[in-house]
A and B are shown apart, each in its own frame.
Chain A
Amino acid sequence: MGSTSAHNEGVGRRNLIKRSAALGLLTIPTMSFLSACATGGGGTDKETKAPGGEKSEKNPLGVKQGAPLEAFIFKGGLGDQYAKDAEADYKATYGAEVKHTGTQQVGPKLTPRFAGGNPPDVIDNSGADHLNMNQLSTQGQLQDLTVLLDAASMDDPAKKVRDTIHPSTIEKGKHGDKFDVLYYAFTIYGTWYSQKLLDDKGWAYPKSLDEMVKLCGEIKKAGIAPWTYPGKYPYYVHFNLFAQIAKIGGMEKWIAIDNLEPNAWTSNDAVKEVVEHYEELAAKKYFLEGSQGLTHIQSQTAWNKGKAVFLPNGSWVENESAPTTPKDFGMAVGALFDGTGDKMPHGTLRGEPSEPYIVASKGKNPAGGMELLRIMLSKKHAQNFATKVKSLTCVMDATEGMALSPGLASASKVFGEAGDNLISLQLQEWYPALTDEKIGGLTGQLLTGELKAADWIKKTQAEADKVAKDDSVTKFKRSA
């Protein structure tokens, strides 16, 4: 900066004063613009007049012919082609334009549109960056979907939609008494493995936690890591860990955890048993080295390559890891393990409705949004979904008689064996900051052996208590 910088004294004090005075002068006239500011619009609670068409046998929701529809679909492990296929049917039936957006950034992209009062009609609110549905629901932004449940189904006009879908879907989609979220897919969570690898080595999928520890010892002797997990997203471990607690300790005690009741973690013996099991796995180094730094994709790839035998995951893994899965891998999922004094029988499974679809109550075409969901709930589209993304839907018996891929076939099989013994957890859905960030951080430390089970339980309880006391977080209660 040669002699040219003689005027570059940084911001001197006098200049600072001059400038701030100038800023002040500038901002005074802008005060009038503040009425047009971010928090000033879209707050009117007028009943939006949805474009209504004639209701008929074929059109029970009264969708208006030619009324355009806007769909915002999460484009993650399941892609968004299945939704486009349903949109094509909508287009053909109602002669209307469908504006489709596939994204991984549902929350950041749609928050301003909700605030501005012009949300899209139908949204697949999934992924890490999803919208906060509790807030949306309490603020009256979600369309009550009871109308959809009571509408005639596409395949059989004599049947209502509510009779064609799995009852847990209806249970899970409620905020209070209002059914306003339709979980379209059905995810089977559990311990995923390669049937071929187990058969080749003559190992059997363990029935209990103790058998698992024993088998891990054998696997390690064979020079393979027994387990891996994505340390970048420790909540993957919770898919199993939480469900295991619910299976052994029973749903009643888990519901206390979901409801953030005091001492819900510390007073539950199942918590102690399960967390100590994980502590033991960590102490004996049964996790693939370096797992704490892997993404879900990297851990799935290591698992596909046979570097590790078991992986905590959900049924989307088959579709997501397809590019790295060997042809004869024989992907399979196993039920939860038995502990001591279990409240739920062997074969119990964590199976949950997933992919939350919402319809914006203040959108331009809520009837059209619900109609798209009705189209997706037909057998034709449920089967299309199963074929395209290898996942079950909430539509019951939709995949009967289809040829299924190995992972999906295994998931259907354990799902069938579990019968009514299905576990559904709300904690992550309701309090993601608690489960993913706080408890996730603790779990990460537990699996690297830096944290003992007793401390994990104590700290988890403390974090849960903190959320229970925090008024800024909307609370929910469940009884079943």
Chain B
Amino acid sequence: MQHGKYRFIVGFLALPLIVYAIFVISPFVQAFQISMTNWSGLVGTAEFVGLENFQRLWESSDFWNALRHNVYMLALVPVVTLGLGLFFAFMLNVGGKRRKNEVIAGVGGSKMYKFVFFFPQVISVTIIAVIWFNIYNPDPDDGMLNSFLGFIGLDGLQNSWLGEKSLALWCISAVMVWGHVGFYVVLFSAAMASIPRDIYEAALLDGASRFHTFFRITLPLLWDTVQTGWVYMGIIALDAFALVQIMSVNMGGPDGATDVMPLRLYLTAFRDSQFGYASAMGVAMLIVTMTFAVLTMRFARRERIEY
């Protein structure tokens, strides 16, 4: 049966590989090629300009400004999202009162919570952006957030939110956190379910508190999942295109305060018709994202725990 095994495998894999090569890998390679041209995107001809686009990018204060905002989000959003996700998952699985015949249990109503937390994952990001844009509406009667603040007598905290230069980016980041926490709650819950019960039992017999149980047992045993989640969430924070494009005032405003790399790319391509330059931005984004992923994998590595 060994005879001709490879030919057999290659025969079956050829078609999907060719399709993959044409539709995934070749555009990928073309992006590099296009980034070295001055292609407008409107006609089929372009001139080779070498690394000129990258030089422009290096000198572009707009792009650095956008990159800085992405980095702010990268520093803040995954920490908050994963932290909340871990906390909620722990409370839903381990943090409850002890009942008879059960070593560990979640807080009351945890099934319902799981469902509610996961809800934002089901709606498309566009809808989430539109909903939150309306929640942030500055009008004290029509804007949900401002009218709520008015209702509980905190008129002093009413704000124009997305129109406020110092707050806008954080308003959008908050929506990003809100939209992704549910996914991590479910992910971490699944991972926690695979931790053997007897480990918890031993810890509880030794008189460990919830706090200790979490930091000494749950977190170390979940580390792999956390690391994966970190990379995934980081990539989302380095994107943020849909939220910013729909929610921000004046496309990345006020006055460039919420600009992000993909939005820059989009405007360069579709508003300014400079596809070559936009491709160079795409390549730069790839480099930034890959650097982040590799560094995370490198520095978050830990001793594996077998159980």
Q: Which residues on A are within 8 Å of B, measured CB to CB?
A: 1-3, 5-6, 8, 10-11, 23, 26-27, 29-30, 33-34, 37-44, 107-108, 111, 114-117, 129, 131-132, 135-136, 139, 141, 231-234, 289-294, 298, 301-302, 432-433, 436-437, 440-442, 444-445, 448, 450, 472-473
CB-based nearest A residue for B304: A6
Q: Are A37 and B33 in contact (CB under 8 A)?
A: yes
CB-based nearest B residue for A26: B21
Q: Are A444 and B274 in contact (CB under 8 A)?
A: no
Q: Identify which of B3-11, B77-85, B90-98, B157-165 touches chain A.
A: B157-165
Cβ of B40: which chain A residues have Cβ within 8 Å of it?
Answer: 132, 135, 139
B22: Cβ under 8 A from any A Cβ: yes
B26: Cβ under 8 A from any A Cβ: yes
Min CB distance A462 to B, Å, is: 12
Determine which of A8, A29, A107, A444 lies in contact with B250 in the assembled complex, contact meaning CB atoms within 8 Å.
A444
Q: Are B30 and A114 in contact (CB under 8 A)?
A: no
- Among B21, B227, B273, the one with the most A-chain Cβ atoms within 10 Å of its Cβ is B273
Tell me the complex Cα distance, A399–B257, Å.
Answer: 46
Q: Which residues on B are within 8 Å of A, measured CB to CB?
A: 17, 20-22, 25-27, 29-30, 33-34, 37-46, 56, 136-140, 142-143, 146, 158, 160-165, 191, 194-195, 222, 224-225, 227, 249-256, 267, 270-274, 277, 297, 301, 304, 306-307
Say what secondary structure dominates the interface of chain B.
loop
- Identify 19 new A-B residue pairs, CB closer than 8 A, beyond the known A107-B270, A298-B142, A301-B142: A3-B307, A10-B227, A23-B25, A39-B44, A42-B43, A115-B41, A115-B42, A115-B43, A117-B44, A232-B249, A232-B250, A289-B140, A292-B249, A294-B138, A298-B139, A302-B139, A441-B250, A442-B255, A445-B254
Q: Are A34 and B250 in contact (CB under 8 A)?
A: no
CB-based nearest B residue for A362: B43
Q: Are A132 and B44 in contact (CB under 8 A)?
A: no
Cβ of B158: which chain A residues have Cβ within 8 Å of it?
Answer: 290
Tell me the complex Cα distance, A290–B161, Å.
Answer: 9
What 5 A-B pairs come out closest when comparing CB atoms?
A290-B138, A293-B163, A292-B163, A42-B44, A441-B255
CB-based nearest A residue for B40: A135
Q: Are A445 and B255 in contact (CB under 8 A)?
A: yes
Q: Are A1 and B138 in contact (CB under 8 A)?
A: no
Given A34-B26, A111-B41, A298-B142: A441 and B161 interface contact (C-beta under 8 Å): no
Cβ of B17: which chain A residues have Cβ within 8 Å of it?
Answer: 26
14 contacts between A and B (CB under 8 A): A10-B301, A27-B25, A27-B29, A39-B33, A111-B41, A132-B273, A231-B254, A232-B250, A234-B249, A290-B139, A292-B163, A298-B142, A472-B38, A473-B272
Q: Are B44 and A108 in contact (CB under 8 A)?
A: no
Q: Are A294 and B139 in contact (CB under 8 A)?
A: yes
Q: Are B25 and A41 in contact (CB under 8 A)?
A: no
